[in-house]
Amino acid sequence: MTATPVPNPSAARRSMEALALGDAFGERWFPLFRDRRRAHAEIRARAVPEESPWPWTDDTAMALGVLSVLGDHGRIDQTRLARTLADTFLSDPGRGYGSGMHELLPSLAAAPASWPTATRALFRGEGSLGNGAAMRVAPLGAWFSADPDHAAEQARRSAEVTHAHPQGIAGAIAVAVAAALTARRAPIPDLLREVADRTPPGPVHDGLTHATSLPPATTPRQAADLLGSGRRIRADDTVPFALWCAARHQDDLIAALWITAEGLGDVDTTCAIVGGVVGAATGVSAVPPSWLDRREPLPAWVAALP
- Binding residues for Mg(2+), by number, are 57-59, 266, 268-269
* Spatial contact of 275 and 23, defined as CB atoms under 8 Å apart: yes
User: DSSP for the chain?
Assistant: -PPPPPP-HHHHHHHHHHHHHHHHHHHTTGGGTTSHHHHHHHHHTT-----S-B---HHHHHHHHHHHHHHHHSS--HHHHHHHHHHHHHH-TTTT--HHHHHHHHHHHH-GGGHHHHHHTHHHHT---SSHHHHT-HHHHHHTTT-HHHHHHHHHHHHHTT--SHHHHHHHHHHHHHHHHHTTSS--TTHHHHHHHTSPTTHHHHHHHHHHTS-TT--HHHHHHHH--STT--GGGTHHHHHHHHHHTTT-HHHHHHHHHHT-SSHHHHHHHHHHHHHHHHTTTTS-HHHHHHBPPPPHHHHT--
Query: Residues forming the annotated binding site?
Result: 57-59, 266, 268-269
